[in-house]
Amino acid sequence: MIEFPPVPPGEVIAVSATLYMTYTRCPDQALGRLRGLYPEESKAAFKGGLAHRVFARHLSSGSIDDVDFDRVCKEEIGAGLNPKLGALGLRPSQLGAIINEVGDLYQRFKALSAEGFRVAEVFVELEPAAGLKLRGSIDAVFDDPEGVRLVDWKTGGLYETEQQLRFYAMLWAMDTGELPAYVEAVSIGSGERVAETPTVAALSATAGEVADLVGVLRRAFLDGRQQIERIAGPWCRFCPQLDGCDEGSAAVRVADAG
């Protein structure tokens, strides 16, 4: 249904939704990620990761009682978040505050309808061309009367979600041969929703963008280029390359002055 375009041979590359979104903001930051330059761990990302594990546990195993919430969170941290916890170096009191915030999010999450829920945390990995992997983790899949609905939960606001949603829809369509009826992002914090009905044309366009990305990054590796196109914006503040980037430093200065 979705024909992935041909890509030039070259470096082994895994394209996740995160790499794709990073590239659409700043190609040079995406190149940096492939060279191992990742943003530092943050409390917000840790909180989001823990909340997602709690949401998936709720859908898979049932509601979590208030008296068990602290224990469940610690189990989920032990099962998959210990490296992030170690990188943050949180004190027990700080961890307690984060668990409380996740508890607030969980109360909001519980109020959402789970009707049609099929499965949570679906990891999809495809190899449409030699040495190229496309991968992503879909938070939840629901069966609606119109067809499958893919859901991405956000613990913060909804920013630039459309491209990310189309990336997940593209993965799903390429993996199953089925076009999702809906793909949706839901902010648990604010209740805001963004949803769309994917089309073959839109997902083919996403596949084209991903193929272009692979071509640019592979050519950069082949040519030994240290830098490709840089696009400065609000994301520069969290970029691990900020210190050595004039464009990003200028953008941060302007933002701070405003």
HSE (side-chain half, CA atoms, 13 Å) at 203: 27
By C-beta, is 223 or 246 nearer to ligand SF4?
246
Task: Verify binding: residue 236, ligand SF4, rule CB under 6 A.
Answer: yes
List 7, 13, 19, 26, residue binding ligand SF4 (CB under 6 A): 26
Task: Verify binding: residue 216, ligand SF4, rule CB under 6 A.
Answer: no
The DSSP-derived string for 119-136 is: EEEEEEEEEEETTEEEEE
Task: Verify binding: residue 230, ligand SF4, rule CB under 6 A.
Answer: yes
Size of the site for ligand SF4 (CB under 6 A): 14
Neighbours of 100 (CB within 10 A): 12
Determine contact, residues 118/137, Cβ cutoff 8 Å.
no
Task: Verify binding: residue 241, ligand SF4, rule CB under 6 A.
Answer: yes
Tokens 């490709």 — which residue? Answer: 228
Q: Which residue minimizes CB distance to ligand SF4?
A: 248
List 13, 28, 47, 165, residue binding ligand SF4 (CB under 6 A): 28
Q: What does the block give as tokens for 61?
A: 């195993």
Give me the 61-100 binding string for ligand SF4, x by CB under 6 A, dash otherwise.
----------------------------------------
Task: Verify binding: residue 175, ligand SF4, rule CB under 6 A.
Answer: no
Q: From 24-32, 45-53, 142-150, 178-186, give the range in contact with ligand SF4 by CB under 6 A.
A: 24-32
Tokens 């609000």 — which residue? Answer: 234
Give the Cα separation of 122 and 108 in Å (integer): 22
Give the Cα separation of 84 and 82 in Å (integer): 5
By C-beta, is 45 or 195 nearer to ligand SF4?
45
Task: Verify binding: residue 247, ligand SF4, rule CB under 6 A.
Answer: yes
List 29, 164, 187, 206, residue binding ligand SF4 (CB under 6 A): 29
By C-beta, is 90 or 252 nearer to ligand SF4?
252
Determine contact, residues 138/152, Cβ cutoff 8 Å.
yes
Q: What does the block give as tokens for 68?
A: 């068990």
Task: Output the smallest distance, CB 250 to ligand SF4, in A.
Answer: 9
By C-beta, is 143 or 247 nearer to ligand SF4?
247
Distances (CA, A) of 96 to 88, 93, 131: 14, 5, 43
By C-beta, is 52 or 230 nearer to ligand SF4?
230
By C-beta, is 23 or 55 nearer to ligand SF4?
23
Determine contact, residues 2/128, Cβ cutoff 8 Å.
no
Which backbone phi and psi does 184 adopt, to 5 degrees? Answer: -140, 140
Task: Verify binding: residue 33, ligand SF4, rule CB under 6 A.
Answer: no
Give the Cα separation of 18 and 155 in Å (integer): 16
Determine contact, residues 189/156, Cβ cutoff 8 Å.
yes
- Give residues in contact with ligand SF4 (CB under 6 A): 26, 28-29, 230-232, 235-236, 239, 241-242, 245, 247-248
